[in-house]
Structure 1
Amino acid sequence: MIILEVALLSYFILYPIYIFLTHKAEKLRVLNQQESKVNVYLKTMLNLWIPVIILGILVVYDDISLIEIGLKWQWDITNSLALLSLILLAGYFLVSLKSLKNNSDEHSKLKEQYEFIRWFLPVTPRESKYFIFGLSITAGVCEEILFRGYVMHILSNDLPMYVVIIISSIIFGFGHIYQGASHVVRTAILGSIMAVIYLVTDSLVVPILLHLMLDMYGGAVAYIIFSDKKSEALMTK
């Protein structure tokens, strides 16, 4: 079990380094059509599920419990309101996507916002399915379990909670270095928000659902705007 613990802890150091060293080459392969986006999505999903599986083994055979890493739920006013908020947010996302699909005038503005990560985003129906229902759900589940559940649990044994939030969020941010330095900061801030939600609700359920909803929505928006051939043609004239 010690080997698995060391391997899991090493992941949080080695994976961001791996992403930093390989993401430019991976981007070029995708842009040069030497590697499909679907293959990149599958590799990313695998890189997230492996440490979660290791953590699962530690939960079964070691001293870590599901409760300690936030995999619990209690029906109280805070969680009930949080779930209601998620339902309302999901409704807003659906209405927003429907509006965006019918309003191509908004596409060019959004394309500018998404341009920094366009190489990674889905354009074809196949890519959108893997991104929205595969990668987004994987990221929502695995990243919250790993960075909010496990990392915060480990750090909280020796550090004050505000330091735990800062460190776990920085580690989370560096795992997204492929988006660029400024977006590492943005992702770290998002990680801090997720950490606070986790602490307030005393459960990973709401952060997981919120995380995967945000990623699914972002993937759907990208698919709508970048698969719009008519809008693309107008922009190149």
Structure 2
Amino acid sequence: NKISRFGLSNVEHLVENAMEGYLHPGKLCQVLARQVQAAGVTILNGINVNGYSKVGENIHVHTNKPYELCATNLLICTNAFAGSLLPGIDIVQARGQVLLTNEIPGLKLKGTFHADEGFYYFRNHGNRVLLGGARNEDFDGETSGTMETTQNIQDALENFLKKYIIPSTPFKISDRWSGIMAMGREKLPIVKQIEPNVFCAVRMSGMGVALTPVTGEMVARLML
């Protein structure tokens, strides 16, 4: 059966979703950057946006640099970090921690998997295992906007790895990191006009890769 074929242990059932897929987010961002730059868009990195104000028909974007940016329309799509620009919006920051193993010869795991109500997510990355989650082990501690890893969550991930994914298989962890998701009272994204010429597309509930192609089209229709 597929449980043994994938090398899983202590697992009784698998439910397959034929529509499930995965991609390389780094390569996705590189391709998108090339496409928008080819269309004449300038990408500015390393700038903190502290707020914005409206002056006549223009919107002034305040940054940590000795200059401001000026626009006629403003789209806020900083997801979990939108709260500082949109006070009162229903966004709760939720940290997601991840680890990546070294290469494991003969790794059986192929595909993407979700476990424990979706609080664990894992997939193969070549002959490595990428595993993230365990936020349900410490909801209070992981309600955070600080991008760092913590011992208790990383230990929970490693224990999950040993018990369910690659039991009796020696491994080393090559990388650990975290990112910040945007949660709220509802799962639906917030795509709306905030005020004239100011829009937002935020709160992806940890599903941004899947949702943003649709939310991008939705907010574009609002703005055009």
TM class, shorter-chain normalised?
under 0.3
Q: When you count strand as a share of all residues, which structure comes out higher?
A: 2
TM-score normalised by L of structure 1: 0.26
TM-score normalised by L of structure 2: 0.27
Kindly name which structure, 1 or 2, has the bigger radius of gyration based on alpha carbons. Answer: 2
Q: When you count helix as a share of all residues, which structure comes out higher?
A: 1
- Structure number with greater CO (CA < 8 Å, separation at least 6) is 1
